[in-house]
Amino acid sequence: MLVSGLECLRCEQPTELTPESYLCPRCGTGERASDAGILDVLYDYAAARKGLLGANGDADLFRYLPLLPVEERGQVPPVGWTPLYEAPALAGLGGLDSVLLKDETRNPTRALKDRATAVGVSRAKALGYEDIYCASAGNAAISLAGFSAYAGLRAHVFVPNAASEVRLGWLARFGADTRRSSGDYDFAFDEAEEMRSRGWYSRNCAFNPFLVEGKKTAGLEIAEQLGWSSPDLIVCPVGDACTLAAIGKAFRELTEMGIVDRLPRLIGVQSRATHPVVDRFDADRGRPVAAAGPATTTAASIDVKEPRNLTRLLNELERSGGTMIAVDDEEIGAAQRELAERSGIVVEFTSAASLGALRRLAEEETLAGQRAVLILTGGRPDDA
Ligand SMILES: *Cc1c(COP(=O)(O)O)cnc(C)c1O
Ligand SMILES: [Zn+2]
Could you please report the per-residue DSSP string of 203-233? --TTTSTTTHHHHHHHHHHHHHHTTS---SE
The closest of 293, 238, 230 to 258, measured between CA atoms, is: 230
Question: What contacts 275, CB < 8 A, 6 or more positions away?
Answer: 290, 293, 324, 326
Q: Judge whether residue 21 has pLDDT over 80.
A: yes
- Tell me what the pLDDT averaged over the chain comes to: 96
Question: What contacts 210, CB < 8 A, 6 or more positions away?
Answer: 41, 69, 119, 120, 123
Segment 37-55 mean pLDDT? 93
* 297-351 tens-digit pLDDT: 999 999 999 999 999 999 999 999 999 999 999 999 999 999 999 999 999 999 9
Q: Is 261 helix (H, G, I), strand (E, B) or coil?
A: coil
Ligand whose nearest atom lies closest to the CA of 13: 2
Residue 110 · residue 380 · CB < 8 Å:
yes
Query: Which segment of 25-39, 44-58, 67-81 scores lowest on mean pLDDT?
Result: 44-58
Ligand whose nearest atom lies closest to the CA of 351: 1
Chain center to CA of 319: 18
Residue nearest to atom 11 of ligand 1 (CA): 377
* 88-132 tens-digit pLDDT: 999 989 999 999 999 999 999 999 999 999 999 999 999 999 999
pLDDT at 291: 82
Chain center to CA of 163: 20
33: confidence class by pLDDT, cuts 50, 70, 90: confident
End-to-end CA distance of the chain: 41
The closest of 320, 67, 301, 104 to 218, measured between CA atoms, is: 104
| Number of residues that make up the chain | 384
pLDDT at 314: 98
Residue 252 · residue 319 · CB < 8 Å:
yes
- Cα-to-centroid distance, 10 and ligand 2 (Å): 5
Q: Judge whether residue 56 has pLDDT over 80.
A: no
Q: What is the C-alpha separation between 87 and 371, in angstroms, rounded? A: 12
57: confidence class by pLDDT, cuts 50, 70, 90: confident
Segment 340-364 mean pLDDT? 97
Chain center to CA of 83: 17
Q: Judge whether residue 7 has pLDDT over 80.
A: yes
Q: Judge whether residue 169 has pLDDT over 80.
A: yes
Encode 109-167 in three state secondary structure. CCECHHHHHHHHHHHHHHCCCCEEEEECCCHHHHHHHHHHHHHCCEEEEEECCCCCHHH
Pocket test for ligand 1, best of 144, 186, 203, 301 (most atoms within 8 A of CB): 301
Q: What is the C-alpha separation between 333 and 330, in angstroms, rounded? A: 5
Q: Judge whether residue 220 has pLDDT over 90.
A: yes
Question: Which residues have C-beta atoms less than 6 Å from ligand 1?
Answer: 111, 113, 139, 237-243, 301-302, 348, 350-351, 377-378
pLDDT at 231: 98
Residue nearest to atom 10 of ligand 1 (CA): 237
Question: Which ligand 1 atom minimizes the distance to the CA of 246?
Answer: 7
Ligand whose nearest atom lies closest to the CA of 216: 1
Ligand whose nearest atom lies closest to the CA of 24: 2
pTM of model > 0.85: yes
Q: What is the C-alpha separation between 38 and 240, in angstroms, rounded? A: 12
- Cα-to-centroid distance, 348 and ligand 1 (Å): 11
pLDDT at 178: 97
Segment 2-19 mean pLDDT? 97
pLDDT at 226: 98
Residue 333 · residue 303 · CB < 8 Å:
no
Query: Which segment of 53-67, 161-175, 263-277 scores lowest on mean pLDDT?
Result: 53-67
Q: What is the C-alpha separation between 235 and 267, in angstroms, rounded? A: 5
H helix count then E strand count, the chain: 11, 13
Segment 195-210 mean pLDDT? 95
Strands (E), 219-359: 233-237, 265-271, 323-327
pLDDT at 340: 98
Share above pLDDT 70 across residues of the chain, in percent, rounded to a whole number: 100
Q: What is the C-alpha separation between 124 and 248, in angstroms, rounded? A: 26
- Cα-to-centroid distance, 113 and ligand 1 (Å): 7
Segment 125-153 mean pLDDT? 97
pLDDT at 215: 98
Pocket test for ligand 1, best of 134, 235, 240, 347 (most atoms within 8 A of CB): 240
CB atoms within 10 A of CB 98: 18
Residue 143 · residue 153 · CB < 8 Å:
no
pLDDT at 323: 98
Question: Buried (b) or exposed (e) across 283-321, using 16+ Cβ within 10 A?
Answer: eeeeeeeeeebeeebebbbbbbebbbbbbbbbbbbeebe
Segment 132-147 mean pLDDT? 96
CB atoms within 10 A of CB 20: 10
**DSSP 8-state secondary structure symbol assigned to residue 106:** G
Pocket test for ligand 1, best of 103, 278, 345, 350 (most atoms within 8 A of CB): 350
